């Protein structure tokens, strides 16, 4: 019997040993995902928008990543991770790189007072050692990273070290291209904004998408009401024409009866 493909073998391994894996590699490090409402909002908005822009990606927020088999103490929790080419239907309590077959393709850290220094040092080194192709940093306040700017910072891995991705100005907007998902990023207030360079259109935030759905539903209701009113008016006009034709026929009949 031929051996199953690596991805299938990994899925079987996980399914057969789920309880043992969960016990050895805990899903939580006991730390809260966010230090403030705005910090948490930036994380969840980025995760939701990235998943909307690239539905083929496995996107997760605050999931522990284990880079080394047999060493549960070696772990890290990106604010947002994205990985392509993986089975999305299978649920995960953590990200085990040796079973997934690779590290995440992209990670994002959103700065907070308690994490900013670690984002720039320890996490940067850890992601580079793990082989994560893209590392992104975003400071919603514009006060926690040395640059002192509310802009996304993109870093691409080259020869084991992260090099900054170039920022450009387009249409008055400061954009940085993320090669892995093929999207442009910029800051909009305290949130990240994703743009599809192929269409030049922004990825809608979840609330915007909900509002668009509501607006479309209202437009459809208005059009349906308009069609109903038009049909009712047409039926009323046809009925009036029929009445007039009947009256005309009666007049003609009466006129014919009055002839000598």
Render pLDDT for 186-212 as a digit per residue (tens, 0 to 9): 999 999 999 999 998 998 875 544 443
Average pLDDT over residues 169-186: 93
Q: Over range 204-221, report the average pLDDT.
A: 49
Question: Residue 21 pLDDT > 70, yes or no?
Answer: no
Query: What pLDDT is attached to residue 20?
Result: 60
Tokens matching residue 232: 């009712």
Cα 155 to Cα 158: distance, rounded to the nearest angstrom: 9
In this prediction, residues 37-45 reach a mean pLDDT of 90
Q: Which residue has the higher pLDDT, 216 or 72?
A: 72
Mean pLDDT in residue range 20-37: 70
pLDDT at 217 over 70: no
Give the pLDDT confidence score for residue 122 in this predicted structure: 96
Q: Report how far residue 81's alpha carbon sits from residue 63's, in angstroms, rounded to the nearest whole number.
A: 8
Query: What pLDDT shows up at residue 110?
Result: 95
What is the token pair recorded at 65?
A: 């990543």
pLDDT of 206: 59
Q: Is the pLDDT of residue 19 over 80?
A: no
pLDDT number for residue 210: 43
* Segment (H or E) for 13: helix 6-16
| Position with higher pLDDT, 146 vs 127 | 127
Backbone angles phi, psi at 74, to 5 degrees: -90, 100
pLDDT of 37 reads 84
Q: Is the pLDDT of residue 14 over 80?
A: no
How high does pLDDT run on average in the chain?
A: 82
**How many CA atoms are closer than 13 Å to the CA of 245, on its beta-carbon side?**
6
Using 50, 70 and 90 to split pLDDT, how confident is the model at 87? Answer: confident
Three-class SS state of 32: coil
Compute the distance between CA of residue 149 and CA of residue 190 in angstroms, rounded to an integer: 11
Using one digit for the tens of pLDDT, what is the confidence trace for 153-169?
Answer: 999 999 999 999 999 99
Percent of the chain with pLDDT over 70: 76
pLDDT band at 33 (very low <50, low <70, confident <90, very high): low
Least confident of 76-85, 109-118, 199-208: 199-208
Confidence of residue 57 (pLDDT cuts 50, 70, 90): very high
pLDDT above 90: percentage of residues in the chain: 50
191-197, long-range: CB < 8 A, 24+ apart: 191/41, 191/42, 191/45, 191/46, 191/140, 192/42, 192/45, 192/46, 192/49, 192/108, 192/138, 192/152, 193/49, 194/49, 194/50, 194/53, 196/53
């Amino acid at each position: 019997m031929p051996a199953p493909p690596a991805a299938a073998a990994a899925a079987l391994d996980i399914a057969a040993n789920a309880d043992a894996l969960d016990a050895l590699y805990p899903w939580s490090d006991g730390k809260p995902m966010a230090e403030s409402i705005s910090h948490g909002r930036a994380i969840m908005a980025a995760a939701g928008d990235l998943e909307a822009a690239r539905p083929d990606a496995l996107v997760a927020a605050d999931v522990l990543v284990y880079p080394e088999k047999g060493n549960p103490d070696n772990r890290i929790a990106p604010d947002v991770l994205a990985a392509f080419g993986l089975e999305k239907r299978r649920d995960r309590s953590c990200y085990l790189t040796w079973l997934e077959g690779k590290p995440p393709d992209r990670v994002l850290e959103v700065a907070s007072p308690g994490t900013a220094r670690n984002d720039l040092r320890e996490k940067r080194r850890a992601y580079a050692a793990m082989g994560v192709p893209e590392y992104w940093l975003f400071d919603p306040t514009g006060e926690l990273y040395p640059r002192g700017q509310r802009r996304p910072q993109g870093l691409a891995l080259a020869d084991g070290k992260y090099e900054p991705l170039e920022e450009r100005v387009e249409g008055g907007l400061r954009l940085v291209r993320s090669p892995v998902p093929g999207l442009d990023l910029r800051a909009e207030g305290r949130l990240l904004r994703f743009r599809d360079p192929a269409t030049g259109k922004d990825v809608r935030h979840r609330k915007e998408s909900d509002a668009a759905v509501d607006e479309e539903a209202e437009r459809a209701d208005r059009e349906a009401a308009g069609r109903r009113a038009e049909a009712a008016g047409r039926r009323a006009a046809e009925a009036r024409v029929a009445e007039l034709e009947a009256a005309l026929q009666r007049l003609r009949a009466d006129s014919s009866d009055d002839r000598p």
